[in-house]
Amino acid sequence: MGIRSSMIEFEKMNADDRERRREERRRRRQIDEAEESSPQAEASAAPTVDPDEERRLARERRRKEREAANAAAEEESRKMQEELEARRMRRRKMRDGVDENQDDSDRVSQETIVKVEVCFAPEQRKLEEEAKKKEEEEEARRQAEEEERRKEEERKQKEEEKRQREEEKRRQREEEEEEERRREQEEEEEEKRRQEEEEELRREEEKEKEREMEARRKKAEMRKREEESRKAEQPKVKQEESEQPMVKRRPHSPAEEMGDENSGPPPEKTEEKASLSSFKSKLSAGRKLNIKVTLMLKKAKEDLAQEAADRESAKRKFLEDVLPPLKLGGLSQDALESLCRDLHAQIEQAEEERFEAEYKVKKNDQEIEDLNMRIMSFTGRFKKPELKKVKVTPENMLNSLAESRRTKPGIIDFRANLKHVEREGHDSRRGSSSTTKSEGMEENLNGEED
């Protein structure tokens, strides 16, 4: 009876075990079908899913599957342990409640239990092996995904570096083209400015030539008018001389007679000086000074502009020679560091030279200031005398000559002791000509003074 009941229990356990395995297989098939259908649904629902997000979802799904499989295995092992424990408890109760005749049935039931345990052990090992295999596959898949992601990141990094290098080359090429365009533009502007300066200089020369020609023409016209006026006045002068009374003059000495002949300048020189004085008399002194100052300021302004342009061009040329443009394209880290060190050394050298130049300039300024102070101290000891301005006129000159004749008899005064006497014929004409010569001399002196 005990053996029969044990066999019945064993068959029930086998049936329950088979049913449980079938249920487990059916549940796994449902899970696999759901997994196969879920990626298709996700792909159809969201075709633009990020690969990283898709990999993350796959890892999460596989983790949940592992957890579900582990939970199912643990639940199955737990149920088996509970059943075995329940059987042991029943056997203990039966062993305590029956007599010694039931030892054989207990032994048979014990063997049955051992057989059941032996039957369930491969299944348990199989489940454990499957779980371990899944874990290994998941780990390998995860490592493959990590390797693929790392390769993808490296590829993206290389592409980014390549793109940056191309961008740097393109930027350098654009900078070089811009520099070339700027240099060409500066050269064109310099050429244009030089042409404008040459044109301005040529126009100034033409204007100067025109002014000279105009001055010559005016001078010639003035000389011509004076000659015409003199020719027109000659008959009147002759008529006046004929109408005037005959005045005779006896020369005091041969020297006086020589003075009468040389009293006036030659006619040609007198005419030139008269024309020049009349041309100059048209411009006032203030106007002359204003024109002179304007021309000087204009010339000084042009010289300053030219000097500033020359200084700027010399400075630009010096900077281009001393500081060539840096070429940083394609340089390594070591090359850049060495270039920075060279630039720092050049900066230090330039600072030292600047300090020395400033020191020399300050020293020279101090010496100049000391010399100026010494000069001022020397000049302050002497008082500059005030000179008296004397206006020289023909009357003052004649008075000084007369005074010198009285004080110093050795000096000849050609105008002293002149007497007007009446003379006939040639003497009267000679006296009138000498008188006109003396008047012309006085006018010439007045013109030169003006």
- Return the higher-pLDDT residue of 111 and 184: 184
DSSP letters for 399-428: HHHHHHHHH-TTS--TTTT-------THHH
Sign (positive/negative) of CA torsion 336, 337, 340, 342? negative
Least confident of 100-104, 109-113, 219-223, 294-298: 100-104
Region of residue 413 (left: phi > 0; alpha: psi -120 to 50; beta: else): beta
Q: Encode pLDDT of 172-226 as tens digits.
A: 889 888 888 888 888 888 888 888 888 888 888 888 888 888 888 888 888 888 8
Q: Where are the beta strands (DSSP E) in 197-344?
A: none
pTM of the full structure = 0.22
Cα–Cα distance, 440 to 434 (Å, whole number): 10
Percent of the chain having pLDDT more than 70?
A: 64
Q: Is the pLDDT of residue 274 over 60?
A: no
- Pull the structure tokens for residue 332: 């390594």
Q: What average pLDDT does the segment 372-383 reach?
A: 75
Where residue 359 falls among pLDDT bands split at 50, 70, 90?
A: very high
Three state DSSP letters for 123-158: HHHHHHHHHHHHHHHHHHHHHHHHHHHHHHHHHHHH
Cα–Cα distance, 277 to 102 (Å, whole number): 172
Which pLDDT does position 113 carry in this prediction?
A: 60
- Pull the structure tokens for residue 359: 């020191």
Q: Is the pLDDT of residue 103 over 80?
A: no
Q: What average pLDDT does the segment 363-377 reach?
A: 90
Q: What average pLDDT does the segment 84-106 reach?
A: 67
- Pull the structure tokens for residue 185: 């533009």
Least confident of 153-167, 370-384, 423-437: 423-437
- Return the higher-pLDDT residue of 437 and 116: 116
Where residue 232 falls among pLDDT bands split at 50, 70, 90?
A: confident
- The CA-based dihedral angle spanning residues 233, 237, 238, 244, taken in that order and rounded to the nearest 10 degrees: 160
Which pLDDT does position 200 carry in this prediction?
A: 83
Q: Encode pLDDT of 44-63 as tens digits.
A: 544 455 677 777 888 888 88
Query: In a 10 Å sphere around its CB, with 0-12 CB exposed, 13-18 middle and 19+ buried, how is residue 360 labelled?
Result: exposed
Query: In a 10 Å sphere around its CB, with 0-12 CB exposed, 13-18 middle and 19+ buried, how is residue 66 labelled?
Result: middle
Q: Encode pLDDT of 137-146 as tens digits.
A: 888 888 888 8
Q: Is the pLDDT of residue 248 over 80?
A: no
Which pLDDT does position 311 carry in this prediction?
A: 93
Which pLDDT does position 10 carry in this prediction?
A: 64
Least confident of 37-41, 170-174, 438-442: 438-442
- Pull the structure tokens for residue 437: 């010569």
- Return the higher-pLDDT residue of 248 and 433: 433
Which pLDDT does position 1 carry in this prediction?
A: 46
- Return the higher-pLDDT residue of 364 and 236: 364
Which pLDDT does position 249 carry in this prediction?
A: 43
Q: Encode pLDDT of 275-318 as tens digits.
A: 555 555 567 777 888 888 889 999 999 999 999 999 999 999 98
- Pull the structure tokens for residue 85: 């424990």
